[in-house]
């Protein structure tokens, strides 16, 4: 798990703006990204004043406190990965424009326009896979990502269901997109972000310790994958497919001396492949990104 201090996150704002400028975009100070960093700066000022000032500031709006930490950390990971890779500049510009759009809080999001958060998931998974050492590149319109390992190439379509009721709809849509004639050769892979399905609205996974949090997230994804298996079988029938279940959240601990941590967990399921080496390959996609 990644532990952090506010001051470390705040430093990334200039790097975020520099990446946007590189793509010909001026990041408006009223965008949700700038608002996250602005709130953390105010929080850091309160923290350095006194414990009481920090407590009072925090109690005014805990949701903003959680979201500012979570999304600033996500954007930090995205920027670091994009800085270290070469992506098509026009495609990257399109993705960053989507990333900067959207609402501050999930509760304010318009269900008919979720492009900002969907793009955040695509780029977050991009950063996760880059940190694992894979060759990953952005795609448009399908697949969202292309990943090359030493053995296989994966076409990944990313989906972020807004609730349990929309999971099947999203998987069906991803499967349809992956089967388009225009999609290049590769293993069809569906990546599902379960933040809005399995985690509370504050994106906090509460636990007593880091070890318990890791075990809890692993069990949460494993149990969901098992429960979801009949649905996948029904959708893909006898075809071959990989499904990545993804969860990213903050972890809060009952021990108040432990700082909050950021955790990203992925597990992979393989359907109908005769080549058993893919199971070993997918082991590199699973687990926590440290």
pLDDT recorded at residue 288 = 42
pLDDT by residue (tens digit) across 93-135?
999 998 888 888 777 777 766 788 889 999 999 998 998 888 9
If you search the block for the tokens 């350095």, which residue do you land on? 48
Contact 271, 233 (CB under 8 A): yes
User: Which pLDDT score is estimated for 15?
Assistant: 93
pLDDT at 222: 87
Looking at residue 1, what is its pLDDT?
Answer: 59
Q: In sequence order, what are the residues at sequence separation of 6 or more whose Cβ sits closer than 8 angstroms to the Cβ of residue 30?
A: none
User: With a threshold of 0.75, does the pTM exceed it?
Assistant: yes
Can you give the pLDDT at residue 101?
A: 86
Which phi and psi (to 5°) does residue 172 adopt?
A: -60, -40
CA distances (Å), 222 to each of 132, 211, 228, 286, in order?
Answer: 20, 17, 10, 11
What is the number of domains present in the chain? Answer: 1
pLDDT at residue 289 in the model: 42
Please write the tens of the pLDDT for every residue from 49-84: 888 888 888 888 888 888 888 888 889 889 999 999
* Separation between Cα atoms, residue 15 and residue 80, nearest integer Å: 9
- Do 65 and 58 form a contact (C-beta atoms < 8 A)? yes
pLDDT at 146: 94
Q: For position 94, what pLDDT does the model report?
A: 93
Could you tell me the residue range of the domain that residue 194 belongs to? 2-288
Residue ranges, the chain, pLDDT below 70: 1-4, 112-113, 200-202, 252-263, 285-290
What local confidence, expressed as pLDDT, does residue 158 receive?
A: 95
């Amino acid at each position: 798990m990644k532990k952090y201090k506010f001051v470390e996150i705040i430093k990334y704002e200039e790097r975020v703006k520099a990446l946007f400028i590189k793509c010909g975009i001026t990041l408006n100070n009223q965008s949700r990204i700038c608002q996250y960093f602005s709130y953390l700066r105010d929080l850091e000022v309160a923290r350095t004043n006194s414990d009481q000032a920090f407590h009072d500031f925090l109690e005014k709006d805990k949701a903003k406190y959680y979201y500012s930490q979570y999304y600033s950390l996500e954007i930090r990971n995205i920027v670091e990965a994009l800085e270290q890779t070469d992506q098509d500049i026009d495609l990257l510009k399109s993705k960053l424009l989507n990333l900067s759009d959207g609402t501050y809080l999930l509760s304010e999001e318009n269900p008919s326009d979720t492009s900002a958060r969907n793009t955040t998931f695509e780029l977050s998974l991009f950063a996760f896979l880059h940190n694992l050492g894979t060759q990953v590149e952005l795609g448009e319109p399908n697949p969202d990502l292309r990943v090359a390992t030493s053995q296989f190439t994966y076409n990944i379509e990313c989906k972020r269901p807004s609730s349990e009721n929309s999971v099947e709809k999203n998987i069906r849509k991803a499967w349809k997109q992956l089967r388009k004639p225009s999609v290049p050769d590769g293993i069809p892979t569906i990546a599902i972000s379960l933040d809005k399905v399995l985690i509370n609205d504050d994106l906090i996974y509460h636990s007593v310790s880091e070890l318990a949090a890791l075990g809890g997230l692993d069990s949460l994804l494993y149990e969901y994958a098992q429960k979801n298996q009949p649905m996948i079988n029904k959708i893909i029938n006898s075809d071959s497919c990989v499904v990545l279940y993804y969860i990213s959240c903050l972890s809060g601990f009952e021990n108040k001396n432990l700082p909050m941590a950021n955790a990203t967990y992925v597990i992979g399921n393989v359907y109908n492949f005769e080549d058993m080496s893919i199971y070993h390959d997918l082991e590199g996609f699973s687990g926590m990104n440290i």
